Amino acid sequence: MLAKPTISDQAYDTLERELREIEAAHPELVTADSPTQRVGEKPSDAFPSFVHHVPMLSLDNTYNEEELREFETRIRKQVGDRPLDYMAELKIDGLSIALHYQDGQLVRGVTRGDGVRGDDVTPNVRAIRAVPLRLHGKHVPSQLEVRGEVYFPRSLFDALNREREKAGEELYANPRNTAAGTMKSLDARVVAERGLDVFLYSVAQVTGAAFPSQSRMLATLREWGFKTNPESRLCHGLDDVLAFLHEWQEKRESLEYDIDGVVVKVDDFALQRELGFTSKFPRWAIAYKYPARQATTVVEAIDVQVGRTGRLTPVAHLTPVLLAGSTVARATLHNEEEIARKDVRVGDSVVIEKGGDVIPKVVEVVLAKRPKASVAWTPPETCPVCGALAEKPEGEADRRCTNTSCPAQLEEALKHFARRDAMDVEGLGDTLATQMVQTGLVKDFADLYTLDYDQLLALLAPKNVKKESIAAKNLLAGIGKSKDRELKRLLFGLGIRFVGERAAMLLARHFRSLDAIQAATVDEIDAIYEIGPAVAASVRHWFDQEPNQTLVERLKAAGVRTEETGDAPASAAFQGLQFVLTGTLEGYTRDQAKAEIEARGGRVTSSVSKKTSFLVAGAEAGSKLDKATELGVAVLDEAAFREKLAEG
Ligand SMILES: [Zn+2]
C-alpha cells in the first residue's frame, strides 16, 4: 500500500536531523517545503476564519441494513438497472480538514468548522507529518482542495494519557476530542509532538486533473503523495458492501484509530452527478453507523472518588472484560441517585457501554442474574480520602466532603481562601496556590502561615534570582498581612458551605469570635436575623468536624486573628430594615454609608422594591428615586440619613 511509510520513523528522524544540520550551516538552502519547515518556531495569536469555497456537508446516516437497502432502492429509481459499484470506506472518528494546494504546494489548511466557515489552521496542518507539503508526480494539478480526517493514533493517545496519569493530571477523554483540541493549539509544535495523522478521501475542487470515479480519485491522491485509508474497498453491489460492514464491525478494534461506521459512496462520478443532492445531503452517499459497543460483566465493588470540589463520585470496579478492544475494569456511576435509580449493587451483572469516552458507563443491571443475598448500596457518610463527614444537601445529587482541608479539595479551597474578598493574601494567585498544594508545602490553610522565605523562593523557581527574591519577600509580607483580616473575611475564606460574604458578616458581628461561633448551638445561630436554618446547620456541621477544629486551633497558634477587635455593634436599631443607596453623598463614600447601616443591623440592597425601607438619595439621584416615589418608599436625603444614623 502506498499509504505505508516507505522508511521507518527512526530513519526519518535521522534524515531530518541531518537536514537540520545542513540547513543550519547553509540557510540559503532552506526551502518552504523543506520538512524542517513543518513546524514554525513561534506560536501564533489566533486563527483567522476561512469561508469554504465548497461547503463541507455532512452525510445522511443510518444505523440499520434495512435503511441501507432503501438507500439503494432510491438510487435504482433514478439510474435503472445499470451496474452499481460502491466505494466502501471506514468512517474515521476524527476531525474533518480541507487542504488547499497551489501548483503542487500546500498553501492552506482549514478545519470543517460549521461546514461553511472553518479555522485557518495552516501552521498546525503543516506540522502533521503525513500531510505532503509538496505534491509528487508529473501531472500535479494547478489548483486542488482535498479533504480528509485528522486523527490521534490510539497508541500515541494511550501513551499520552499514561504520562498524564503519572504526572497526576486529568486524563483526556477520547482521541477524537484530543485531536480536535490539539488542532486548535496555538503552538504547532504541540501538533508535531503529539503525532497526529491524517487520511484523505475526497476532492472538493481541482483544476488541471480529472477523475472518472471515487476509486480512481483515491488512487491518484496516493500518486500525489496523500495518505488514503488502506482498507477502502470497491464493492460490486450492496451485498459486497454488507460483507465489508460486518467484517469491520468485528475487526474495528484492531485498527490504530477509532471508526464509528462505514461511508458508502456510488463510485462512478457521472452517476453521482446524475443523482445530485437533496436539500441537505448528497443522494449518492450514506454513512452507516455502528451500534454502541456493549459488554456484560460483574460489579465486584463500588468505590468512591473525591473530586476537587469535594464531590464524591462512585465508581464501579468490574470483573475485567474486553470491550471495544481494551480491557475494562472500571465504569462511572456518576452519583448515588444514579445508583439508586438503576439499583446497581455489588455482585450484580451489568451491561456496560463505551461511547467516545475513556471511562465506560453502566447502562443497566441484568436483574435475572442478581445474587439472592445482594443488598442495596449505601453511600459512605465519611470522605474516603480524609475521613471527615460527607453530606448530601437536600435537593442536590452529589454528596460532598465537609472538610475544607481535605487533600482532595485543598487546591480549590486555598484559592478561595486567598481571594481578595476573603483573606486577600497579596501575591498568592491561583497558579501559586496550586503549586503550594501539589508540592505538599500546604496541607491546610494554617500551613500557609508556617512558610518561610526560603521555601517561597524555592517555590517561585528562581530563574531570575533577583526578581524572584523580591516576589518571595512580597509574598511573605502578603501572607503576614492577611493574618490581621477582619473575622468576617476569615469566616468567608474558610469556605463553609452556604456561608457567603453576607452570612459571614452577620455571624462575625453577632458572635465576634471564632470560639463563640464554635460554641454556639444550631438554634443560637439560627436565631440570628437573616441567618436561615440551612446556614446554621452547615456552620454547626463544619465546626463539629475534628479536622476543622484542629485547623481553627492551628490558625490561632499561627497568629491569625479570630476575634472581632473593633467596637461592639452600635445597636440593632436598623434590624429588619433594607436600605438602597443612590446618588452622591458628601459626607460618606458608598462603602462608609453601607458600613454605618450594617453596623446598626440594617441591610443594603442594590435595587428598589416594595421591601425597601428607605432610599438614601444623594446628589444627582436618578431612576431609583423615581422608582421609590412610585412605590411610596421613604426617601432620606443626606441630612435625614445623618439624623437617622444618630438615632441608632
Ligand atoms: Zn475529604
Q: Which range has the worst mean pLDDT, 42-51, 278-287, 458-467?
A: 42-51
pLDDT, tens digit (0-9, with 9 covering 90-100), for 32-88: 555 554 443 333 346 888 999 998 888 888 888 999 999 999 999 999 988 899 999
Q: How far, in Å, is the centroid of ligand 1 from the Cα of 608?
A: 42
Residue 16 has pLDDT above 80, yes or no: no
For cell 484523505, name the residue.
200
Whether 560 and 587 map to the same domain: the answer is no
Compute, in angstroms, the gap from residue 336 CA to the centroid of ligand 1. 17
Cell 523557581 sits on residue: 461
**Kindly report the CA angle at 283 between 282 and 288, in degrees rounded to 5?**
85
Residue 221 lies in a domain: yes
Cα-to-centroid distance, 478 and ligand 1 (Å) = 28
CA of 510 from ligand 1 middle (Å) equals 30
Number of H helices, E strands in the chain: 23, 22
Decide: 582 and 616 in contact? Cβ < 8 Å: yes
Boundary-marking domain end, from 254, 289, 324: 289
User: How many angstroms separate the CA atoms of 413 and 497, rounded?
Assistant: 11
Domains: count for the chain? 4
Q: Three cell numbers at 583?
A: 446618588
As a whole number, the mean pLDDT across the chain is: 86
Residue 185: band (very low, low, confident or very high) from pLDDT cuts 50, 70, 90: confident
Q: Tell me, yes or no, whether 490 and 460 share the same domain.
A: yes
Identify the CA nearest to 506 among candidates 539, 484, 481, 482.
539
- pLDDT one-digit tens code per residue, 304-316: 988 766 889 899 9
Q: How far is the CA of 481 from the centre of ligand 1 (A)?
A: 29
pLDDT(6) > 50: no
In a domain, 391, yes or no: no
Q: pLDDT at position 9, please?
A: 47
Which tens digits make up the pLDDT trace of 578-616?
A: 999 998 888 888 888 888 888 787 888 888 888 899 999
How many angstroms is it from 438 CA to the middle of ligand 1? 16
Task: Write the pLDDT tens digit of every residue in 520-539.
Answer: 999 999 888 778 888 899 89
Judged against a pLDDT cut of 60, whether residue 442 lies above it is answered with: yes
* Statement to judge: residues 589 and 457 lie in one domain: no
For residue 311, the CA-to-ligand 1 centroid distance in Å is: 9
CA of 416 to the centre of ligand 1 (A): 17
Q: What is the pLDDT averaged over residues 473-483?
A: 94
Residues 351 and 475 in one domain: no
For ligand 1, the distance from its centroid to the CA atom of residue 389, given in whole angstroms, is 8
Same domain, 500 and 595: no
541: CATH: 1.10.150.20
**Domain end point (choices 289, 323, 347):** 289
- Same domain, yes or no, for 166 and 261? yes
- Same domain as 337, residue 285: no
Distance 264 CA to ligand 1 centre (A): 53
Which CATH number is 245's domain given?
A: 3.30.470.30
Whether the predicted pLDDT of 357 surpasses 80: no
Confidence band, pLDDT 50/70/90 cuts, at residue 463: low
- Which neighbouring-strand residues pair with 100? 108, 145
* Residues 527 and 601 both lie in one domain: no
pLDDT for 589: 86
Looking at this protein, which amino acid is placed at residue 534? A
Who has greater pLDDT, 264 or 608? 264
Please identify which of the residues 42, 77, 91, 369 carries the catalytic annotation. Answer: 91
For 551-569, the pLDDT digits (tens) are: 999 999 999 999 987 666 5
* Interval 276-280 mean pLDDT: 85
pLDDT at 323: 82
Q: Examine the fold and report which residue of 269, 289, 309 is the final residue of a domain before the chain moves on.
A: 289
What pLDDT score was predicted for residue 135?
95
The sign of the CA dihedral 10, 13, 19, 25 is negative
Here the CATH number for the domain that contains residue 623 is 3.40.50.10190
Q: Which of 566, 569, 438, 425 is nearest to 490 (CA)?
A: 425
Which of 553, 595, 591 has its CA nearest to residue 574?
595
Q: Write the single-letter amino acid at 354.
A: K
Query: pTM here?
Result: 0.53
Whether 120 and 296 have beta carbons less than 8 Å apart is answered as: no
Same-domain status, 249 and 278:
yes
- State pLDDT tens for residues 202-230: 999 999 999 999 999 999 999 999 999 99
DSSP state of 388: -
From the CA of 529, how far away is ligand 1's center (Å)? 32
pLDDT of res. 278: 85
Structure-block grid coordinates of residue 371: 445474587
pLDDT value, residue 307: 76
Identify the pLDDT of residue 462: 58
The whole domain housing 263 covers 9-22+29-47+59-289
Same domain for 501 and 584:
no
- 387 CA to centre of ligand 1 in angstroms: 6
91 catalytic residue (yes or no): yes
Phi, then psi, of 615 in degrees rounded to 5: -105, 120
For residue 351, being part of any structural domain is answered with: yes
Report yes or no on 380 lying in a domain. Answer: no
Could you tell me the CA-to-CA distances from 24 to 18, 19, 37, 511, 631 in Å, in that order? Answer: 10, 8, 12, 73, 79
Give DSSP secondary structure letters for 216-269. Answer: HHHHHHHHHT----TT-EEEESHHHHHHHHHHHHHHGGGSSS-EEEEEEEESBH
Least confident of 19-28, 276-285, 550-559, 572-581: 19-28
The predicted structure's pLDDT at residue 12: 52
Rounded distance from Cα 358 to ligand 1 centre (Å): 26
CATH number reported for the structural domain that contains residue 347 in this entry: 2.40.50.140
Residue 10: predicted pLDDT = 46
Ligand 1 geometric centre to CA of 460 (Å): 28
Cα(414) to centroid of ligand 1, in Å? Answer: 14
- Residue 609 belongs to some domain of the structure: yes
Task: Note the pLDDT of residue 221.
Answer: 96
pLDDT band, residue 571 (cuts 50/70/90):
low
152 neighbors 182 (Cβ within 8 angstroms): yes
Among 34-38, 241-245, 492-496, the range of highest mean pLDDT: 241-245
CA of 307 to the centre of ligand 1 (A): 9
**Single-letter code of the amino acid located at 303:** D
Q: Are 110 and 138 found together in one domain?
A: yes
Cell 464501579 sits at which residue?
A: 316
Q: Is residue 124 part of a domain?
A: yes
pLDDT surpasses 60 at 195: yes
**Which position has the higher pLDDT, 135 or 176?**
135
In a domain, 385, yes or no: no
At 30-48, the pLDDT tens digits run: 555 555 544 433 333 468 8
Strand pairing of 85-92 and 143-151?
unpaired
Q: Are residues 409 and 433 in the same domain?
A: yes
Q: What is the strand order of the sheet 578-582 is part of?
A: 603-605, 578-582, 614-617, 634-636
- Calculate how far, in angstroms, residue 400's C-alpha sits from the geometric centre of ligand 1: 8
Q: What is the mean pLDDT of residues 250-258?
A: 87
CB distance 325 to 303 below 8 Å: no
